[in-house]
Amino acid sequence: MGAGHSCPFLGASPHPGALFFTLPRKGQTPMAHDFSNSGQVLTGPASSTAPGADRLPELPRPDFYMMHHPDSWEAVETSPDQWEWLPKLKRLLLVPGVNGVRAVRGGMDDGQARINFEKQGFKILPRALGYVTKYTARNGRPTYFATWERPVALGNRVAVRMDHDENIEFRRALLTDGVVEPPEPESLEIVLEDLQQRINRNGTQIHIPGAKKVVDKAEAKKAGATKAKAKAVKKAKPVRRRKTTKKAEATSE
């Protein structure tokens, strides 16, 4: 508002260029604004006033893809005496210079890394499945964990708690949703053979309490895994044989 101009509510402006606001008229109540739903309750690390309290006290852990190989399976006791075959997952770490990951301007290029592992038979799981969680490390850079991992700051180090139920649900969903194909019988036989070798190695020392415990555990796992095998393996498609027509039979004669 320039000099010589009057404000319709406050009169002439004593300071050229000053900003004036409309005041409520006499007898008029100022408009109320409810901010109750716009605030944020500070809990956990965010509630601390200590510098860096909202950061994990360690160097950043690299970002990653989860991937699965058709030969990699695990028998898991999901409830007492109930076993399931679930895919074992491996991480493809996104570190420039490792596994074909390249550093580019503004980030990194992991395309060749994924191609390399896919050529080895791995299935790269889409990150849209939501298995990566990002936190902040002590240097302010992002650090990455699986969604079923719970990082806990213990002084100047980090402990990671594992939510086994969430991990099992995720791996089970990979099968039920068709992201990962059911296992071939031969893949499960390899795991069962490894269990039998563990039993054989410790069977000669069965008189030792520790060895007996290992044998008992391996035998229970093998029995449960063997029982669950029939339900887990990929169902073989029936072979359809083409019917020989009379014309074809006459020609062959």
Q: Are residues 212 and 173 in the same domain?
A: no
Helix (H) or strand (E) holding 8: none
* Confidence at residue 246, expressed as pLDDT on a 0 to 100 scale: 57
Residue 240 backbone dihedrals phi, psi, to 5 degrees:
-95, 120
Q: Are residues 58 and 166 in the same domain?
A: yes
The answer to the question of residue 18 being in a domain is: no
What single letter denotes the amino acid at residue 65? Y
The answer to the question of residue 31 being in a domain is: no
Are 61 and 139 in contact by the 8 Å Cβ rule? The answer is: no
* Confidence at residue 27, expressed as pLDDT on a 0 to 100 scale: 65
Q: Are residues 126 and 196 in the same domain?
A: no
Q: Are residues 176 and 191 in the same domain?
A: no
187/132 Cα distance (integer angstroms): 28
99/92 Cα distance (integer angstroms): 8
152/54 Cα distance (integer angstroms): 11
The answer to the question of residue 220 being in a domain is: yes
pLDDT in tens, the chain (253 residues): 455 555 554 555 555 555 555 566 666 666 666 776 777 776 777 677 766 678 999 999 999 999 999 999 999 999 998 999 999 999 999 999 999 999 999 889 999 999 999 999 999 999 999 999 999 999 999 999 999 999 999 999 999 999 999 999 999 999 999 999 999 999 999 999 999 998 998 888 878 878 888 899 999 999 999 999 999 997 766 666 666 555 555 555 5
Q: Are residues 82 and 163 in the same domain?
A: yes
| End residue of a domain, out of 163, 182, 201 | 182
Give residues with Cβ within 8 angstroms of 143, minimum separation 6.
56, 58, 59, 60, 61, 134, 135, 136, 137
Specify the DSSP class assigned to residue 25. P
Which residue has tokens 């093998």?
222
The answer to the question of residue 98 being in a domain is: yes
The answer to the question of residue 36 being in a domain is: no
* Confidence at residue 30, expressed as pLDDT on a 0 to 100 scale: 65
Q: Domain range holding 74? A: 51-182
Burial class (CB in 10 A: 0-12, 13-18, 19+), 25: exposed
132/247 Cα distance (integer angstroms): 62
234/61 Cα distance (integer angstroms): 36
What single letter denotes the amino acid at residue 171? R
Q: What domain count does the chain have?
A: 2
The answer to the question of residue 253 being in a domain is: no
Q: Are residues 173 and 196 in the same domain?
A: no
Q: Dihedral through CA 144, CA 147, CA 153, CA 156, nearest 10? A: -30
